[in-house]
Amino acid sequence: MTRLRVLGIGSPFGDDRLGWEVIKGLQQCAPLQALTDDKLQLQCCDRPGMRLLELMRNAQSVILIDAVKSGARPGTLHALQMSDLAGLNAPFSSHASGVADALKMGEVLKLLPPELLIYGIAIEDAGAGFIGTKHARDVVKRLVSRIAKRILTQY
């Protein structure tokens, strides 16, 4: 069993790859490179849909990172727990079968890890309007730093 699995949700296209950019930043973080696979796994996931439940299997803790259409200003960071997803009316993902759908199904089937944290980075759409900006790079750096600090102090 893996202690912590960090999953960047997205696709190779436009703003939708923000979760992947965070994973890439974490992979380049020297202190995290010393952690073994049984302690930490970092993975990019291409629009997993319900397969997300399988990707979280056998992990004590999971951190998900995804580009989200929340209506907030692009670059806004959202930190959510599972209980926060219940009140969302719109899909909180840039994918047709969203992260929230998979997590709600996982909750019903009791397939979720004991600890789950979701980071959403607000975008307008999945096109390439935001990701190439300095603001996007700053948001990714800030989230990489925040997650790395959490990993190094809690795991």
Amino acid (one-letter) located at 103: L
Domain-wise residue ranges, the chain: 2-154
| pLDDT reported for residue 82 | 84
| pLDDT reported for residue 87 | 62
The second-level CATH assignment, the architecture, of 2-154 is 3-Layer(aba) Sandwich (3.40)
- The span from the CA of 128 to the CA of 63, in Å, is 24
- The span from the CA of 44 to the CA of 92, in Å, is 18
> Residue 97: which region, alpha, beta or left (left: phi > 0; alpha: psi -120 to 50)?
beta
CB 113 within 8 A of CB 54: no
Distances in whole angstroms, Cα of residue 45 to Cα of each of 20, 36, 118, 154: 8, 20, 14, 24
Orientation of helix 18-27 relative to helix 134-154, angle to 10°: 50
Dump pLDDT digits (tens) for 103-128: 999 999 999 999 999 999 998 876 66
- The span from the CA of 66 to the CA of 20, in Å, is 8
Dump pLDDT digits (tens) for 50-79: 999 999 999 999 999 999 888 899 999 999
- The span from the CA of 31 to the CA of 65, in Å, is 20
